[in-house]
Structure 1
Amino acid sequence: MSTDLAPADVRARRWTALALICAAQFMLILDVTVVNVALPAVAADLDLGRTALTWVVTAYTLCFGGLMLLGGRLADALGARRVLLTGLALFTAASLACGLAPNAAVLLSGRVAQGIGAALLSPAALALVTTTFHGPERAKALGVWAAIGGTGSAVGVLLGGALTAGPGWPWIFYVNVPTGLALLAALPKALPKDKPTAGTGPLDIPGAILVTTATGALVYGLIRAGDSGWTSPATLLPFLGAAALYAAFAAAERRTRTPLMDLRMLTRRPVVAGSLLMLVATALLISFFFLGSMLLQRVHGLDAFRTGLLFLPVALTTAIGAHLGSRLVTTAGPRACATGGMALAAAGCLPLAFLTPTADPWTTLLPSLATAALGLGAVFVTATTTALGLIPPHEAGLASGIVNTFHEVGGTIGVAVTSTLALGTAGFTTTFTLLTVTATTAALTAPLLIPPGRPRTTGGAHGVH
C-alpha cells in the first residue's frame, strides 16, 4: 500500500510547491502594474513630475529585466531553491522600504531593490517548475505559470485601486510584507533541496552591468523624448549610448569563458520567437493598464477605486485567454494561437484609436481592453511554451531568464513609450493607434516567426516542434 501512496504523495508535494512558487511569482508580476492606479496619489504626496512618475514604474521593471539573466545564471550555479528564497527575502524587505518612503529618492531606491529581488526569484522559480515537472504534467504546470503572468498584471491594477482608495498608496507595497513572510516560512518545506552542481566558473558581473545599463539608457532616451523631442541631442545620445552598450555586451559575451548569455541560444528559433512574443505582448498589456489608468483618472475624473474596478473584467478576460491558450496551443499549435491572439488584441485596441474625451469609458474603454486582454492572455501561454521548447534541465535557469527578461523589458519599454506619447504632445488616441499597429504587425509576422507544428511532451524537455 505504501508503494501506491508514495507516488501520489510526491505528486501532491509537487503541486503544492507549484502553488507556492506561483504565489511568489504572482506578487512580482502584481508589482509591475499595482502602482499604475496609485500614481496620481503618489505624485501628490511626494511631489513627483511625469519623468519621476515614469521611473516609479520603470525602475522596477528595468532591474527586474536587466538582471534576469544574472539571476538565471545564479540559479544554475548556486541552486534554484537558494536563489529563490534570497530573492524573496530581498523583495519583501524592499517592499516595506517603498511603503515607508518619505520622498522620491527612497521610493525609487526601494523599487530598484524590489527589481533586484525579483530578478533573483523569477528565473529560479521557473527553473524549478521546468525541472520538477515532466511529460504532460509539465505542459499543465507551464500553463499555470503563464496564466499567472497574464492575470497578475490585470489584478495589480484592481488591487492598486482598492488599496489606494482605502488605506492609502503605501499599502500597495505593505501588502507584500505578510505575503512574503508567509511564503518564506512555507517554501523551504515544499521545495526540493538543491542538488550539488559542478563548477560553473566565475559569474559574468560585467555582462550583467552592461546589459542593464544599456536598457536603462534606452529607457532614459524614450522618457526624454517626451520633454525634448525625438530628434534632440538629449534623446539621441542615450539611444546611441544604448546601442554601443548592447554591442559591447555582445562582444563581451563572445570573449568570456562563462558568459551571462550563450548568444547561440538566440539562434534557436523557438527561443527567439517566444521571447519576442513575450516582449510585444507585455509591452501592449502594460501600456493598456498605464494608459487606461491615466485616462480614467485625468480625463474622466474617476477615483482610484472605480478605476481599479473597471479593470476587473480585463483581469477575468486575461485569465480566460490564458486558459484557452493553454488548450489551443496543444491542439491548434502555437503559430495559430499566437496569430489569433495578436489579431484579437489589435481588434480590441482599434476602437480606442478613435476615442473621444466625452465617450463613456464603461461602454468604450472597458470592452476594448477586455477584448485585447483576451487575446494577449493566449499569447502569454504561447510565448512561454514556445520559448522553453527543447531546453535541457541544466539550461533551464538561463532559458527562463531570457523569457522573463523579454517580459520585463517589454513592460519597461511599453510604459516609457506610452508615457512619452500620451502624457507628452501626441495624446491618448495617437498612442492607442500606435499600439493597434504594433499588435497588427505582430499578428502578421507571427506565422513567419513561430516554428510550425504542435507542442510535444516527452519524459524530458517539453518542446515545440
Structure 2
Amino acid sequence: MFDSAVAGRRGRLILLLVCVVQFMDVVDTAILNVALPSIQEDLDFTQQSLQWVISGYLVTYGGFLLLGGRASDLLGRRRMLVVGTTVFGLFSLAGALAPSSEALVIARTVQGVGAAIMAPAGLSILMTTFRGPARNKALGAWGAMSALGAAAGIFFGGVLSEGPGWRWVLLVNVPICVAMIVAAVVLLSPDSALHRGSGFDTIGAFLVTGGMLLGLHALIEAPDRGWGTARTIGELATAGLLLVAFVLNERRAAHPLFPLSLLGIPGIAAADVIQLAAFGGFTGSFFFLTLYMQEVLGFSPIQGGSAYLPVTVVIMLAAGLCAVLVGRIGTRPIIVVSALVSAGGMYLLSRIPVDGSYGPDLLPGLLVMGVGLGALLVTVTSAANTGVPPDEAGLAAGLLNASQQLGTALAIAVFSALATHRTRDLLAAGVPSDAALTSGYSRAVLGGAVFVALAALIGFLAPNTRTVTTTPGVAPEVPAPEVMT
C-alpha cells in the first residue's frame, strides 16, 4: 500500500504527477480533432476511416477501464501506472511515425489501452495518498484535469498541427511520458503484496471488456450505419447481453472483478451517471463548436484552438473555488447549480448564427459553460470517490473514467445523428450550405445542453457529502497533514 503520510513538497509532486496522468488521457481524446484534415491528406484516409483516428483511442480507452482499474488494485498502483504510461508513450511514438493510415489507427487503438491502465492507477494513488481536507483539494485539482484536458486538447492540437505538423501532436507525448515514469519510480513507494494472492476473475474480465468494446463501437458507428440497421442493433444487443452476463457472473464469482457491493456505497452510482451525462454533453459540444469555427467561420486550426483558452482559465478558477466549497456546503448543491449554469451557457452557444463572430456569439457562452464545467466535474469526482475503501480505489476510478468515455461516445453518436439529419433536410430544401451546417451544429450543441441539464436533475438524487471517507466497516484512515495549501 502506498504510504499515506505524505506532506509538503513530495505530496505536491505526487499530486502534479497524477494530475498530469489524467490530463494526458483526456487531452489525447480531443487533441487530434483539428489535425484530422492534415492527417487525411498526408496518409490518404477515406472519409469513413478517418473517424477511427479518434474512435480507435476512445473505444479501447473506455473498453479496458474497468479491467485497468482492477489490475491496479490487485497488481500494484505504481506498477500499473508505469506499465500504462510506457504503453501510452511507445504507441504515441508509433503513431507519430506511422507510414500509413492503418498503422496510425492501430497505434491509436493500443495507445487507448495504455490510457485505460494509467487513468485509474493515477486516481487510486491519489485516493490512497491524501487524507482529510487535503483529499478534497487534491480531488478538485484532479477533477479539473478532465475539463481542462477537453478544452486544452483542442488548443494544443491546433497550435501543433498548424505549426510543426500533425505528427508532433503525438510526438510531444513521448518526453512527457518519460518524465512521468521517472517521477513514478522516484516519488511512489513500492507496491505491497497485499492483494497479489487474490484470484483474478478472468470470465468477468472477458465479459465486461467485450461488452464495453462492442457497445462503444456500435455507438460510434451508428450515425454512419444507421441506428435501425441489423448490424447496429445486433452489436448493441450483444453488448447488452455480455454486460448482463457480467453482472450475473460477479454475483457468484469468488474473487469478482467488480464487487457489486461497491454500487451500494451511497452516491457512487448517481455520480457516475452524472459524469456520463455531463462529460458527454461537454465533449460533444466542443466537437461541433470546433467544426462550426473552422467550416463556417473559416477559423484556422490555431484560431479554433485558441478560442478555448478563456475556457481553460475559468475552469481553473471555478475548480479551485469548488475544492474549498465542497467541505463547507457539500457536493449536491454544487452539482445541481453548476450543471444548470453550464446548460445555460451551452444554450447560448446553440444560438450560433451563420455570420457569427467570436466575441459576441461564442465567448459569452464559452465563459459561462466553463465556470459550470470546472465546478461540476471537480465535485462529481469527489462524490464518486466518497466512501470507497482503499483496496477498491482503482476500480472506482476505472468506473468513473468508463462513465466519462461512454458518455463521450454516446453524445457524439447522438449529436452527430441530430446534426446530420438537420443539415441534410435543409440542403434538400435548397438552404445554402453554411446555413444548413450551422443549423445542424446548433442542434448538436443544444443536445449537449439537454445532457448537462439531465445531470442537474440526477444531482438531486446524489447524497450531499462534504468529505471523502471510507465505507462503514472499513478501518478508518489516519489523517495526514494537508499536502496542499
Q: Fold conserved (TM > 0.5)?
A: yes
1:113 to 92, 105, 110: 110
Q: Is 2:380 the counterpart of 1:368? A: no
Which moved further from structure 2: 224-233 or 160-169? Answer: 224-233
Q: Is 2:315 the counterpart of 1:318? A: yes
Go from structure 1 to structure 2 and tell me whether the alpha carbon gap of 1:8 and 1:380 turns closer, same or farther (over 3 Å shift): closer
Q: Is 2:78 the counterpart of 1:65? A: no
Aligned partner of 1:81 in structure 2 is: 78
C-alpha separation between the residues in 1 aligned to 2:20 and 2:419? 33
Aligned partner of 1:433 in structure 2 is: 446
Q: Is 2:40 the counterpart of 1:28? A: no
C-alpha separation between the residues in 1 aligned to 2:5 and 2:401? 32
Which moved further from structure 2: 317-326 or 297-306? Answer: 317-326
2:467 to 455, 461, 464: 455
Structure 1 residue matching 2:51: 3-state secondary structure = helix
Q: Which runs of 5+ in 1 are unaligned?
A: 1-6
C-alpha separation between the residues in 2 aligned to 1:8 and 1:429? 50
Which moved further from structure 2: 339-348 or 323-332? Answer: 323-332
C-alpha separation between the residues in 1 aligned to 2:215 and 2:301? 31
How far the C-alpha of 1:104 sits from its partner, in A, is 2.4
CA deviations over 1:101-147 (Å, ceiling 9, x no partner): 22222111111111111111111111111111112222221111112
> Where does 1:124-203 land on structure 2 (aligned, <5 Å)?
124-203=121-200
Aligned partner of 2:391 in structure 1 is: 394
CA contact (8 A) 2:29 2:150 kept: yes
Q: CA RMSD in A?
A: 2.3
Which moved further from structure 2: 228-237 or 116-125? Answer: 228-237
CA contact (8 A) 1:95 1:110 kept: yes
CA deviations over 1:433-460 (Å, ceiling 9, x no partner): 222222222223311x211353366972
CA deviations over 1:165-217 (Å, ceiling 9, x no partner): 00111111000011111222232111112122144433234333332332333
How far the C-alpha of 1:423 sits from its partner, in A, is 4.6
How far the C-alpha of 1:425 sits from its partner, in A, is 4.9
How far the C-alpha of 1:161 sits from its partner, in A, is 0.5
How far the C-alpha of 1:378 sits from its partner, in A, is 0.9
CA contact (8 A) 2:281 2:449 kept: no
Go from structure 1 to structure 2 and tell me whether the alpha carbon gap of 1:8 and 1:445 turns closer, same or farther (over 3 Å shift): closer
Amino acid of the structure 1 residue aligned with 2:357: D
CA contact (8 A) 1:42 1:169 kept: yes
C-alpha separation between the residues in 2 aligned to 1:220 and 1:25? 23
CA contact (8 A) 1:65 1:408 kept: yes
Aligned partner of 2:436 in structure 1 is: none
Q: Is 2:40 the counterpart of 1:43? A: yes
CA deviations over 1:247-302 (Å, ceiling 9, x no partner): 12222222322222112222333111221122122112211221122111122221
Go from structure 1 to structure 2 and tell me whether the alpha carbon gap of 1:207 and 1:305 turns closer, same or farther (over 3 Å shift): same
CA contact (8 A) 2:63 2:216 kept: no
C-alpha separation between the residues in 1 aligned to 2:450 and 2:123? 32
Amino acid of the structure 2 residue aligned with 1:108: V
1:269 to 254, 266, 281: 266
Amino acid of the structure 2 residue aligned with 1:273: A
Go from structure 1 to structure 2 and tell me whether the alpha carbon gap of 1:199 and 1:275 turns closer, same or farther (over 3 Å shift): same
Aligned partner of 1:382 in structure 2 is: 379
Which moved further from structure 2: 307-316 or 410-419? Answer: 410-419
How far the C-alpha of 1:461 sits from its partner, in A, is 8.5
C-alpha separation between the residues in 2 aligned to 1:344 and 1:50? 36
Aligned partner of 1:3 in structure 2 is: none
Which moved further from structure 2: 206-215 or 102-111? Answer: 206-215
CA contact (8 A) 1:55 1:108 kept: yes
CA contact (8 A) 1:392 1:461 kept: no
Instruction: Count the aligned residue pairs.
Output: 455
CA contact (8 A) 1:390 1:461 kept: no
Amino acid of the structure 2 residue aligned with 1:221: A
2:278 to 271, 281, 284: 281
Aligned partner of 2:210 in structure 1 is: 213
Amino acid of the structure 1 residue aligned with 2:200: L
Amino acid of the structure 1 residue aligned with 2:17: L
CA contact (8 A) 1:51 1:223 kept: no
Which moved further from structure 2: 409-418 or 143-152? Answer: 409-418
C-alpha separation between the residues in 2 aligned to 1:160 and 1:39? 10
Go from structure 1 to structure 2 and tell me whether the alpha carbon gap of 1:22 and 1:413 turns closer, same or farther (over 3 Å shift): same
Amino acid of the structure 2 residue aligned with 1:431: A
Aligned partner of 2:240 in structure 1 is: 243
Go from structure 1 to structure 2 and tell me whether the alpha carbon gap of 1:205 and 1:410 turns closer, same or farther (over 3 Å shift): farther
Go from structure 1 to structure 2 and tell me whether the alpha carbon gap of 1:31 and 1:268 turns closer, same or farther (over 3 Å shift): same
Go from structure 1 to structure 2 and tell me whether the alpha carbon gap of 1:93 and 1:453 turns closer, same or farther (over 3 Å shift): closer
CA contact (8 A) 1:342 1:443 kept: yes
C-alpha separation between the residues in 2 aligned to 1:308 and 1:399? 32
Amino acid of the structure 1 residue aligned with 2:327: T
Amino acid of the structure 2 residue aligned with 1:450: A
Aligned partner of 2:99 in structure 1 is: 102
Structure 1 residue matching 2:33: 3-state secondary structure = coil
Structure 2 residue matching 1:460: 3-state secondary structure = coil
C-alpha separation between the residues in 2 aligned to 1:437 and 1:324? 26
Aligned partner of 1:54 in structure 2 is: 51
Structure 1 residue matching 2:34: 3-state secondary structure = coil
Which moved further from structure 2: 432-441 or 199-208? Answer: 199-208
C-alpha separation between the residues in 1 aligned to 2:112 and 2:478? 29
Q: Which runs of 5+ in 2 are unaligned?
A: 424-439, 471-475, 480-485
Identical residues among aligned pairs (%): 36
How far the C-alpha of 1:367 sits from its partner, in A, is 2.3
In the superposition, the TM-score normalised over structure 2's length comes to 0.88
C-alpha separation between the residues in 2 aligned to 1:187 and 1:89? 12
CA contact (8 A) 2:137 2:324 kept: no
2:334 to 334, 337, 342: 337
